[in-house]
Structure 1
Amino acid sequence: MADQTEIGAIRALLGAKPRPVGWDERRRRIEEVGGAFPLAADIVLEAADCDGVPGEWSLAPGSNADRVLLYFHGGGYCSGSIASHRTLVTEAGRAAGTRTLAIAYRLAPENPFPAALDDARRAFAFLRKMGIPSGRIALGGDSAGGGLTLALLQALREEGETLPACAWLVSPWTDLTLSGATLATKDATDPLIHRGYLEELAAAYLPAGFDARDPRVSPLLANMAGLPPLLVTVGSDETLLADATRFAAVAGEADVAVTLSIYPHMIHAFPLWNAHLAEGRAALAEAGAFMRRHLA
């Protein structure tokens, strides 16, 4: 059973200030709540230039620098950063025993689709040019970063590239048509993500007249055949729960090895707060074991 004291404290953190309005304020707020707990003192960070895409390496003691978790942060394609997700990414690398590369892809509305996908492709190509085999690369992403991870996998498959070993999807936003039933049924329990907000994000990310049913932005509607093993991590108290459950079903129907882990009472992207949330640490341990198994 989830410790209601811990998740209650995270809910209090998220609700301590009024909901931000405007892109600048939203970007400041995600930095604030994502960086609420300090980075572990033993993590080594290094800035990276991934052929023009800013990134950041991290390495925990004892991790294998020859294996890489390439991570795409969440934030609805419009906010989020390396800094806001640093604690999540670095601890995921520790759990997986890998080096991590977090990517600062371009954000909407200044840079609508396909800017983020182009940056993701460039970051993967950068790793390959470094001589890192695809089989030693895991992909990861939360929320919009999960959708971006799936878009990258589709692009690599269509280009005939050897696919990464596996992918970890945290609370993935897989359906920009917003057809999931839990957008309504979980609205009262989710402190972060609501339909009106998602509508605004989708409008900012998609160019005028672009079809939200395009599988590059709504991977729920994509052909999943041939994708590598996937781990989907989601909380039961989030409006995007149906984005995860429906996606896992579609992937499974396409013969993809997919594991769906639903954490009771957890909220959107809950592993962000792993430092003070036992379920966040449990999710990291599960993801770490998953990546170690497939990167071996």
Structure 2
Amino acid sequence: MSSAQRAALAATLRNGPQDEGEQSVERMRAGFALLMAGFPVPEDVRRTATSIGARPAVLVEPLERSHAGTILYFHGGSFSLGSPETAMALTANLVRRTGVRAISVEYRLAPEHPFPAAIDDGVAAYRSLLDDGADPGSIVFAGDSAGGGLTVTVCLAARDAGLPVPAALLAFSPALDHTRSGDSMRTKEGVDPFFTREGMRRTGELYLGGADPEQPLLAPALHADLRGFPPMLLQVGTDELLLDDSTRMAARARAQEVDVILDVVARVPHVFPAYTGALDEAGQALDRAALFLTQHLPAG
């Protein structure tokens, strides 16, 4: 990674939608959409509006080759911002690298729809795939930030509802602890170019809607029973407030004998794999993520 790449990206992210005081959710949503629209989407994919589990979604397919399986993708945005389009650079890059189609779900957002609405929508989308005849071994969950957290919490809720677990989980910089008790919440304050503790406090409260964060679906890194979980890959950067969400989840998975890969990259920001073309490590991390997914999906 060049210092020039890192400095340019950090400067862009420090002007992000959550660092401008007490602005409205509507303005934060618009700012986040504008920020994420600046990152290129590969041209060799096809995007089609669809629906799944009674929610809007985007189907992303490779143009030239297709392999078995489905990536059920959950976008980021602190549970209150974003859409499938804001995560399209990540989603499309996974599709082109794996040859596997993705369905990106437009789950309901806080504060209009606080916890557990996003989780309920994720479970409904997964149930819809299963009801359509998909083998759970042909489905993987993937997501970034809040959506990375949903890969875990949707899997928890689906398992507890009696559904089979998917083949694997891939989480980019996941949000896995709404108690915000990790050491990195302090040690990375001022280092993280995107998040601040105050900004995370505000959006966290929007999602919680008064719920107690000390529970598995809000702090799975601390409280989740992961027995029976599929293999998971957690990718995170050392400059993140959320770093310890991943490190503690990996430790919890290891203690409960769940296959886990913790992929920590030095001096990169939140959801760094999104920034292909701007950061060398982004494409390298996506290559590793694609390999992980294809290793856990059916061949052919």
* Equivalent position of 1:213 in the other structure: 214
Which runs of structure 1 show a deviation greater than 6 angstroms over 4 or more consecutive aligned residues? none
Deviation of 1:225 after TM superposition, in Å, equals: 1.1
Segments of structure 1 that go 5 or more residues without pairing to the other structure are none
Structure 2 CA distance, aligned partners of 1:57 and 1:123?
13
Cα pair 2:173 2:246 within 8 Å, conserved: yes
Describe the SS at the equivalent of 2:277.
helix
Q: State the Cα deviation string for residues 98-123 of structure 1 (Å, max 9, x = none).
A: 10111110000010111111110111
Structure 1 CA distance, aligned partners of 2:133 and 2:258?
27
Q: When the two structures are superposed, what TM-score results if normalisation uses the length of structure 2?
A: 0.94
Q: AA paired with 2:212?
A: D
Structure 1 CA distance, aligned partners of 2:53 and 2:67?
20
Cα pair 1:233 1:261 within 8 Å, conserved: yes
Q: AA paired with 2:99?
A: G
**Aligned match of 2:141 in 135, 139, 156?**
139
C-alpha distance 189-139 of structure 1, shift in aligned 2 (>3 A): same
Deviation of 1:61 after TM superposition, in Å, equals: 3.2
2:13 is equivalent to residue 11 of structure 1: no
Q: State the Cα deviation string for residues 123-168 of structure 1 (Å, max 9, x = none).
A: 1112112222110111011111111111111112112222110010
Q: When the two structures are superposed, what TM-score results if normalisation uses the length of structure 1?
A: 0.95
**Aligned match of 1:100 in 92, 99, 102?**
102
Cα pair 1:76 1:144 within 8 Å, conserved: yes
Structure 1 CA distance, aligned partners of 2:293 and 2:145?
19
Deviation of 1:272 after TM superposition, in Å, equals: 1.4
Where do 1:1-296 residues align within 5 Å? 2-16=1-15, 19-20=19-20, 21-64=23-66, 66-208=68-210, 210-220=211-221, 221-296=223-298
**97-106 vs 194-203, which deviates more?**
194-203
Structure 2 CA distance, aligned partners of 1:85 and 1:262?
21
Describe the SS at the equivalent of 1:265.
coil
Structure 2 CA distance, aligned partners of 1:274 and 1:56?
21
Segments of structure 2 that go 5 or more residues without pairing to the other structure are none
Cα pair 1:190 1:239 within 8 Å, conserved: yes
Describe the SS at the equivalent of 2:134.
coil
Q: State the Cα deviation string for residues 30-52 of structure 1 (Å, max 9, x = none).
A: 11111102322221011111132
Structure 1 CA distance, aligned partners of 2:158 and 2:14?
39
Cα pair 1:47 1:56 within 8 Å, conserved: yes
Percent identical: 34
